Structure 1
Amino acid sequence: MSEKKDFLRLKVEEDLQAGKYNKVITRFPPEPNGFPHIGHAKSICINFGIAEDYEGFCNLRMDDTNPTKEDTKYVEALKDAVQWLGFNWGDKVHFTSDYFPKLYEYAIQLIKMGKAYVDSINEEEMREFRGTVKEAGKRSIYANRSIEENLELFEKMKNGEFKDGEHVLRAKIDMSAANMKLRDPLLYRIRHAHHFRTNDDWCIYPMYDFAHCLSDYLEGVSHSICTLEFENNRDIYNWVLDTLGLELPRPYQHEFARLGINYTVMSKRKLLELVQGGQVSGWDDPRMPTIAGYKRRGYTKESILNFCDQIGIAKANSMVDVAQLEFCIRDDLNKKVPRVMCVLDPLKVTIENYEGSEEIDASYYPHDVPKEGSRKIPFSKEIFIEKDDFCENLPKGYFRLTPTQPVRLRHGFIITCKEVIKDSNGNIIEIKAQYHPNSKSGEDTSGIKVKSAIQWVSSKDAKQIEVRLYDRLFKDEAPEGLEDINPNSLKVIKDALIEPAVITQKPDTRFQFERQGYFYADPIDYSDEKPVFNKIVGLKDSWAKKSVSKENAKQEPKKEVRKEQVVGSETPMNDEQKELFEKYTNELKLNSEVANILARDEKLSSFYEEVLKELNSPISIANIVVTEVARVLKEKQIDELKFNSKQIAQLVKMLDDETISNKIAKEVFEEMSKIGENPITIVEQKGLVQISDPAIILPIIEEIIAKNPDNLEKYKAGNKKLLGFFVGQVLKNTGGKANPKVVNELVGLKLQ
């Protein structure tokens, strides 16, 4: 846990210190009437996270009190989401239906106390009698029924002697209460419907406000944590438990702000409409904000957890920029996935002065990613490049191939255009080119200067794949319904071409297609015969500087997006923010999401500028400031921080010098936040210096290989993915202190 605790954890600690509870027990109580979405991920992280932090446990409980909407498939989707995010609910999944007999007994108890009655007015009358915020309500005449009559009617309701809606059970509280939730709320209603667990045993079902608090009590829950929309329901929660006089300890409800994300709908009702209406392929459509959708699209659990950690826990509702979630997945994948070449819109290039074929050695990872791995890329006379990587008329700032401008083939040679071949309609269908034999990447002695490198594939060796280009499902920042769906949210390319190693060697399931974005082998539709890849996210925020054409702007002026208005921001940037944004993106080369966060937050940008004065490492500093420092600055002023800009610069310097790893840097930062100690001192005192000495690492590698003979055999038989297993074991064994680059290299040598 970080030193700066949110208000929920502070409450938990207060209760523990006061001896209110012996053990912290939370619960995650979704209704199984749809697939869980990103908002549920936040709730999962809070409830399971708090339980873990205080050595308690969290129950997974299905709130299955509405048989007309619930289904076993939703139960399984909820279980899968919790497991995928890395949380454990123990031996048993709880269901509210487990407590139906006991809840019925509690309802009988309230009737006998004169605190509940069977009402027989219709819904329209009930709404009319409820009153308004300014006017007291009017109690139903049926509230005067005797206890005996209420008991008899309630039993008949249970026995199925009445139709749906003919009667309800209501609490007798206060029809003039300022909190309208207390104006004789419903406790039970009749539903003649088949329940997926209790079958037809029951035809009356408890309402949420009655079942929820009592289920918490029966499970021994200490802290019932829910979203802010249930704040007014807290009075009913307390009324039921207090009126029944249940034995202590009893649970108490605490609320936090629910997650709202722009360009996204979080209503399960609206999401169900999309599924049933065929606007998406299902609950796991990669455009859906469901956990299943993110999972199928290729998001990692680490990116979701990091996003939930970054947005924090607040008491007031607010809108989060979807670009922040996209930043989290880019940030995670950037350090993990292989880089490969794929051509989405092929244009044939014939290299006239080249004969035969060869293989070019190329690393899967850039120098700043601490992973090892390479492949051989076939090169031949006929290749394909992206159509938009050739331009016949050289525009300003265009650095790719033109009739007068050579370009480098990524990892390969420099080529020069010699002739442009067109069809009868004037469309370019082929480029005749020459290559420069002495210009091979890494061995270039040609002296030719080029300003960019483009991706390409060999015509005879490339593999054809289907690529699904996903974009945001809604085009409006605050979507209302189907009318706001983005018509370009999915584009399918059936004939994209990719270098063969991706398909034949399968070095991973997630890749960065260079200059295109991050992609994931679809876990359902992918096959060796028909490879299918989903676009996870672009390399940078393609929405950040989109502008609407004048024609469209005239038609929809309220939906205009100015160039300086980064997507997701509620207001355009002011002049000072725009100037910072331009500086950060153009001069310091920060990506647009990071630049947007810094430019819009005065405290954050001020701190960032101070660190820059200490160390010229803008990208590394920005990454730590927007992720780690930002969390602390949410609730503190700069002069309240226990660390300063100089110390952050020292931390980044150790990271840049590979004295410590990224994992250790996070640990050191947490310690700095708590005690304000110099990071160099923390690293020295705790022995956190990154281990790069092969003499220390090799014995650990040998021991791990010796303990895993089966995996060693599988690796030698061709399962090269197990390299990651051995590397991971070494890093785990050293507490994350071993240098990943060194470990990768040494493990690779030892496994040969």
Structure 2
Amino acid sequence: MDEDLRKRIRREAEANALFNALKHESDAQVGAILGPLMGENPEFREHGDEVSGVVAPVVNEVNGLDEAEKRARLEEIAPERLEELDAEDEGEDHPLPDLPNAEEYEEVRMRCAPNPNGPWHLGHARMPSVIGTYKERYDGWMLVRFDDTDPETKRPDLEAYDAILDDIDYLGFEPDEVVTASERMETYYEHARELIELGGAYTCSCSGEAFSELKNDGEACPHREKDVDTVRAEFAEMVEGEYESGEMVLRVKTDIEHKNPALRDFVAFRMVDTPHPREAASDYRCWPMLDFQSGIDDHLLGITHIIRGIDLQDSAKRQQFVYDYFDWEYPEVVHWGHVQVDAYDVKMSTSTIKERIDAGDLDGWDDPRAPTLQSVRRRGIRGDAIVDAMVELGTSTSDVDLAMSSIYANNRDIVDEETPRAFLVRDGFDARDPDAETAYEATEVPVAGGPDSAHPPVHPNHEERGTRDIPVGDAVLVESRDLPAEGERVWLKGYGPVRYDGEGFSYTDDGIDVVREEGVDVVHWVPADDNVPVRMRRMDGDVHGYAEPGYAAYEPDDLVQFVRVGFARYDRENEAETVAYFAHE
């Protein structure tokens, strides 16, 4: 590692450590610094074994400063990071900081730019949640642009276009305009030709390995000095599809000696032999790279503010070269860290989820075990609950963790008061571990001496909604774990007190005070002969059970709270059972 690189690592590490320490009001940690440092500076990665040795003493130095010294030092070396920190601190009433320089624009215009290579996983929800919230806050404008100019490695899924728009609608937002990049190919060609005329691009037939070696050595490609006529003609041949994949690319001229090799003469267009799945785009073989396509579109569509991952910092720098050639002003950029979601065994990746579906490990994109928006929607979780959780994460450049429990808490606040109650007696798992401790067993117990029916409230907080009528019959089902010891009592919820004699329940005349004063358990139940078989689909496997008879009157999308079990969405009725999707407790 040369001394210049060592100094750069020290400088970047110090800024990250100062920010981290001030943000969390504690000592910075080397592990928390290394991830963002490598993400923001990919050229450091090849020196990974040495970087930690440079970073550790820097972190120790930062931890030796008091808060005032840390703030002063951060303002000196990275004032924009201090502004970000202060914006977060001021945003307690509004978790999203003000957009930079928003007041300088007549209208705040933002874009959500999904790659439609599959339906959205939960992490994708962050972008429309934050952009949609900013749109409402600034009375702005939101674009959805499908970046579908990679028909091979991120091959578009024809069903994903509409699925993504449905997901945005589910989250509660409506785009002001929707465009599809593969329908704008002639626009990209037009700007490529103009860039060629400006001397800002050249055609290159070097192999990837050969160019990479030249680039890393800071040496110019031998094709870099081609005359404009030759470049123009060869690009025309690219557009006509006269080259095969890998045979010719169009490169943007940048600075071949730039300190970041990733920015040196990057590819703007390449040849792709695989036809695009959209029929209207299937004849194109010369496709723009995302940095070129996105940069052109952001300008032409008037985007004022871009939010993108911290790992895409180089994209803004590449696009700036193109903007400089065209004498355009680059949009404001906000970078944020990645979001990780807990509670799932399946990696939050479109390609991984698709592989699991194709392998039969998941039933589909809406399988309750899949970390997708289609899944949580089918489980009865409201879009607002997800938006609120995503907005609460803010726009920090640090990677953030999203606990599903926060989404569940938000959803509970939204649905609790409107959701009717019902009883469900669970009868075991039929999923991954039938011998798990969480297995249940429905036990039939005769009942004698009490009323013919029970009348629990539809909702305990709203008497005006009335009661449910549940016939008791000669026996009830309870979960085996709720069965009391011989001679002990339980309170059948909505029915009353019963004593267990080892074989059955007998009704007693005890008042409700036995629950409050003597600790008699209150348990749920259903009639043994008049119930609704239910298969409840959960993240940890399907549970069979039996619901009270009134559950048969519910319809798809209705949400109920199964007492002592949790919220679940009525999905469908099969010949043998009703299927519900568990939301959360």
Asked whether 1:9 is paired with 2:58, we answer no
Which of 411, 416, 437 lines up with 1:329 in the alignment? 411
Matched residue, 2:17:
none
Matched residue, 2:524:
455
What is the CA distance between 1:222 and its match in structure 2? 1.1
Which of 186, 209, 221 lines up with 1:101 in the alignment? 186
Question: Matches of residues 25-64 of structure 1 in structure 2 within 5 Å?
Answer: 25-64=109-148
Question: Matches of residues 304-703 of structure 1 in structure 2 within 5 Å?
Answer: 304-345=386-427, 346-353=442-449, 358-367=452-461, 372-390=465-483, 401-419=484-502, 431-436=503-508, 438-439=509-510, 449-468=518-537, 470-471=538-539, 489-493=540-544, 496-504=545-553, 509-522=558-571, 525-527=572-574, 530-537=577-584, 539=585
8 Å CA contact 2:532, 2:577 repeated in 1:
no
Provide the C-alpha distance between the structure 2 equivalents of 1:446 and 1:315, rounded to a whole number of angstroms: 52
8 Å CA contact 1:338, 1:508 repeated in 2:
no
Asked whether 1:125 is paired with 2:210, we answer yes
User: For the structure 1 residues 516 and 169, does the alpha-carbon distance in structure 2 shift closer, same or farther, using more than 3 Å as the test?
Assistant: same
Matched residue, 2:340:
260
The one-letter code matched in structure 1 to 2:578 is P
8 Å CA contact 1:412, 1:440 repeated in 2:
no
After superposition, the C-alpha distances for 1:162-197 in whole angstroms (9 at most, x for unaligned) are 111111111111232123331111101111333215
The one-letter code matched in structure 1 to 2:558 is T
What is the CA distance between 1:285 and its match in structure 2? 1.5
After superposition, the C-alpha distances for 1:202-249 in whole angstroms (9 at most, x for unaligned) are 111100100111111111111122222212211112221121224x6x
The share of aligned pairs that are identical, in percent, is 25
Provide the C-alpha distance between the structure 1 equivalents of 2:467 and 2:547, rounded to a whole number of angstroms: 16
Provide the C-alpha distance between the structure 1 equivalents of 2:300 and 2:306, rounded to a whole number of angstroms: 12
Provide the C-alpha distance between the structure 1 equivalents of 2:213 and 2:320, rounded to a whole number of angstroms: 26
Question: Matches of residues 165-176 of structure 1 in structure 2 within 5 Å?
Answer: 165-176=246-257
8 Å CA contact 2:102, 2:108 repeated in 1:
no
8 Å CA contact 2:108, 2:141 repeated in 1:
yes
> How well do the aligned residues superpose, as a CA RMSD in angstroms?
2.6
Provide the C-alpha distance between the structure 2 equivalents of 1:72 and 1:118, rounded to a whole number of angstroms: 32
Give the secondary structure class of the aligned counterpart of 1:534. Answer: strand
Provide the C-alpha distance between the structure 2 equivalents of 1:528 and 1:330, rounded to a whole number of angstroms: 31
* Count of residue pairs brought into register by the alignment: 477
User: For the structure 1 residues 521 and 5, does the alpha-carbon distance in structure 2 shift closer, same or farther, using more than 3 Å as the test?
Assistant: closer
What is the CA distance between 1:152 and its match in structure 2? 1.4
After superposition, the C-alpha distances for 1:285-328 in whole angstroms (9 at most, x for unaligned) are 12222111110122111211221233223232232333323333
8 Å CA contact 2:456, 2:495 repeated in 1:
no
8 Å CA contact 1:350, 1:381 repeated in 2:
yes
What is the CA distance between 1:529 and its match in structure 2? 6.2
8 Å CA contact 1:337, 1:508 repeated in 2:
no
What is the CA distance between 1:502 and its match in structure 2? 1.7
Provide the C-alpha distance between the structure 2 equivalents of 1:370 and 1:126, rounded to a whole number of angstroms: 75
8 Å CA contact 2:203, 2:235 repeated in 1:
yes
Give the secondary structure class of the aligned counterpart of 2:117. Answer: coil
Unaligned runs of 5+ in 1: 391-400, 420-430, 472-488, 540-752
Unaligned runs of 5+ in 2: 1-89, 428-441
What is the CA distance between 1:451 and its match in structure 2? 2.2
Higher relative contact order (CA 8 A, sep 6+): 2
TM-score (norm 2): 0.76
User: For the structure 1 residues 57 and 529, does the alpha-carbon distance in structure 2 shift closer, same or farther, using more than 3 Å as the test?
Assistant: farther
8 Å CA contact 2:96, 2:394 repeated in 1:
no
After superposition, the C-alpha distances for 1:424-453 in whole angstroms (9 at most, x for unaligned) are xxxxxxx323222x2476xx8999945211
Provide the C-alpha distance between the structure 1 equivalents of 2:409 and 2:133, rounded to a whole number of angstroms: 23
Matched residue, 1:617:
none
Provide the C-alpha distance between the structure 1 equivalents of 2:531 and 2:213, rounded to a whole number of angstroms: 70
What is the CA distance between 1:332 and its match in structure 2? 3.2
TM-score (norm 1): 0.60
Provide the C-alpha distance between the structure 2 equivalents of 1:350 and 1:57, rounded to a whole number of angstroms: 64
8 Å CA contact 2:172, 2:384 repeated in 1:
no
After superposition, the C-alpha distances for 1:484-521 in whole angstroms (9 at most, x for unaligned) are xxxxx32342xx11101121255971122111222111
Provide the C-alpha distance between the structure 1 equivalents of 2:463 and 2:258, rounded to a whole number of angstroms: 63
8 Å CA contact 2:425, 2:479 repeated in 1:
yes
After superposition, the C-alpha distances for 1:97-143 in whole angstroms (9 at most, x for unaligned) are 23211111111122222221111122232333332xxxx43332222
